[in-house]
Every structure is written in C-alpha cells, then in structure tokens.
C-alpha cells in the first residue's frame, strides 16, 4: 500500500523539486521495510523508485547503481514487472547521463534497456506499460538520430489501447 501511496503522492504533486526528494526518501524507507521482510520483489520495486528520485535530482551515477541493483533483485526473484521497470530506470539514468562521454554510447545503451523493457511488458500483456515504454523508446531513438525508428515507436499503439 505504501508503494502505491508514494506513486500517487509523487506524480500528483505540484511541489517544485520536492516531489522527487520526497520520492527518494520515501522509497529508501520502503526499501528498508521490504529488506526487513527479505522481500526481494518489493526491494526491487523500491530500488526503482529510489533510482527515479536520484535521476530527477541529478545523481546519475548513483541512479545507475541503484537501478542495476533493482534489476538484480528482480531477476533473482523472477519478478518480470520489476525487471521491466528496472530496465526503464537504467535507460533513463543512462539517457540523463548522456551529456557525458561519449553521448551516443549512452543513448544506445538506453535504447537496449528500453527494448528489453518493451519485450518484458509485452510478455506480461501489460499494454499500459508497453505504451509508456514505446513513448520512451521513440524519444530515445530520436535522441540517437534514428528518426524512422522513432516514428515507428511513437506511431505504434498496443492493440487494446488503439481500440479505445
């Protein structure tokens, strides 16, 4: 329940910069709670949330480490949804880190993580997450200079969403 509440509070706030600082602090607390229970799936989800907060605060190297730990936990526990979210967190951390050397390498690494996240979302039948990943992937392809791939991703809608 706390995980859902943190999501709602983070994405439905208008506080300048405070939302992500709160997200990070709350996610660290949530991660400690899941660690006390030895719940790797919950720890993976909380680590992804921590990574999002770190990315927003410009702590890209720390976000990469935390997202990689989230992926390790999700893979170890067989948590496919957590794996998809961890791959997106890794992609975004690399993407934000792309101003550093060499920028194209970081964008291509981000694209690889997003492709994996898309495969996982599709295997789970999660059309909402599939649409979100397609959006990120389209933007990443654009940043990498591949306009055709960007158009394909941004023009692709999961079947259930296209019918709505």
Indicate the domain borders of the chain: 2-162
**For the chain, what is the radius of gyration of the CA atoms?**
16
Looking at residue 105, its pLDDT comes to: 65
Looking at residue 164, its pLDDT comes to: 38
pTM above 0.75, yes or no: yes
More confident residue, 124 or 95: 124
Q: Per-residue pLDDT tens for 7-51?
A: 656 655 555 566 667 788 888 999 999 999 999 999 999 999 999
Considering the domain 2-162 in this protein, what is its CATH number?
1.25.40.10
Contact (Cβ atoms closer than 8 angstroms) between residue 90 and residue 66: no
């Amino acid at each position: 329940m706390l995980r859902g509440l943190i999501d709602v509070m983070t994405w439905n706030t208008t506080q300048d910069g405070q939302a992500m600082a709160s997200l990070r602090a709350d996610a660290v607390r949530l991660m400690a709670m899941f660690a006390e229970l030895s719940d790797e799936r919950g720890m993976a989800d909380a680590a992804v949330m921590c990574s999002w907060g770190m990315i927003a605060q410009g702590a890209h190297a720390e976000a990469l480490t935390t997202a990689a730990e989230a992926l390790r936990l999700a893979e170890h526990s067989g948590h496919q949804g957590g794996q998809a979210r961890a791959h997106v967190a890794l992609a975004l951390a690399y993407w934000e880190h792309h101003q550093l050397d060499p920028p194209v390498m970081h964008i291509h690494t981000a694209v690889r993580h997003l492709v994996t996240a898309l495969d996982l979302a599709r295997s789970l039948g999660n059309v909402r997450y599939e649409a979100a990943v397609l959006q990120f992937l389209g933007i990443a392809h654009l940043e990498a200079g591949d306009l055709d791939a960007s158009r394909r991703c941004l023009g692709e809608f999961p079947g259930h969403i296209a019918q709505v």
